[in-house]
Amino acid sequence: MYSTNYHRPSSVEEAVALFGKGSDPKYLAGGHTLLPVMKQRLAGPSDVIDIAKIPGLIGVEASADALTIKAATTYYDIMHNADVKRTIPAIAHLTSVLGDPAVRYRGTIGGSVATNDPAADYPAAVLALNATVKTNKREIPADQFFKGLFMTALEDNEIITAISFPIPAKAGYAKMRNPASRFALTGVFVAKHKSGEIRVAATGASQNGVMRVGVIEEALKANWSASALDNVKVSDEGLMADIHGTSDYRANLIRVMAQRAVDAAG
């Protein structure tokens, strides 16, 4: 690792000010993406601004219509939160199968969503649940937030402060893990909204990161059941192919994981 200046601000405003002063600054939350590349000397930021301990960024709030998880809340706190478990248990489940205990103690929802790793779990939940990404500057709808591999609508020096999830009628998540990294080889989040809208999002599958799966949404709209997907053909066009899975295998996994997510959603 190259030497760097480490900062731990106590407010978002202070973090933003520090970021403005650095020559090549980076925000740090759980650190699961940034620290490994720093250790390998693939990144050498001048300043590392640790926003994971800002009190205003930690916590969960639930209303009748929405579950709001503040950005620096750790996976561990999310999966054990009573409001999360009560309102959207699929998020608690997703979190419980994310990484391993060490990862879950450190990782944050804001860090995951801001990084937009193509195999991360939370982006699938954000997209399928049609969540709103709240930042220190604005509110961004899910459909406008994810812009491709590791790309988001976030501007330079924009910090996610919270994610607000509308509480659905039903939701479920299922994933197949990459045997080596244990990231999602393919994960699918299905949601039946109170409006009746069906949204299905897959992670780990597309070359462009998290994506909605139209053919599955249509089939589930006609019939919300796993068997409704038995003969659905998911195209492998644009899907990733690597040593862990071909694109046709991932296309199959989208369908199979969607079926299991529907079963889990009930």
Using CB under 8 A as the binding rule, whether residue 179 contacts another protein is answered as yes
- Are the beta carbons of 210 and 116 closer than 8 angstroms? yes
231 binds another protein (CB under 8 A): no
Q: Note the Cα 88 to chain centre separation in Å.
A: 15
Pick between residue 98 and residue 162 the one whose CB is nearest to another protein.
98
Q: What's the distance, Cα to Cα, between the start and end of the chain in Å?
A: 48
Select from 245, 251, 261, 262 the one that contacts another protein (CB under 8 A).
245
The reply on whether position 233 binds another protein by CB under 8 A is no
Q: How far is the CB of 180 from another protein (least distance, A)?
A: 4
Q: What is the DSSP letter of 210?
A: S
CB of 1 to another protein, least distance (A): 8
Using CB under 8 A as the binding rule, whether residue 62 contacts another protein is answered as no
Q: Judged by CB under 8 A, which stretch of 7-15, 21-29, 158-166, 251-259 contacts another protein?
A: 251-259
Note whether 75 and 82 are within 8 A (CB).
Answer: no
Stretch that binds another protein, among 15-23, 56-64, 149-157, 242-250 (CB under 8 A): 242-250
What six digits make up the tokens of 42? Answer: 């693939």
CB of 57 to another protein, least distance (A): 28
249 binds another protein (CB under 8 A): yes
d(CA 117, CA 34): 12
Q: How far is the CB of 169 from another protein (least distance, A)?
A: 26
Q: Smallest Cα–Cα separation from 220: which of 202, 204, 232?
A: 232
Q: Where are the alpha helices (DSSP H) in 70-213?
A: 75-79, 82-87, 89-96, 101-106, 109-115, 122-128, 142-145
Q: Residue 170 is encoded by which pair of tokens?
A: 């039903």
Interacting residues with another protein (CB under 8 A): 1, 40-41, 176, 179-181, 185, 243-246, 249, 252-253, 256, 259
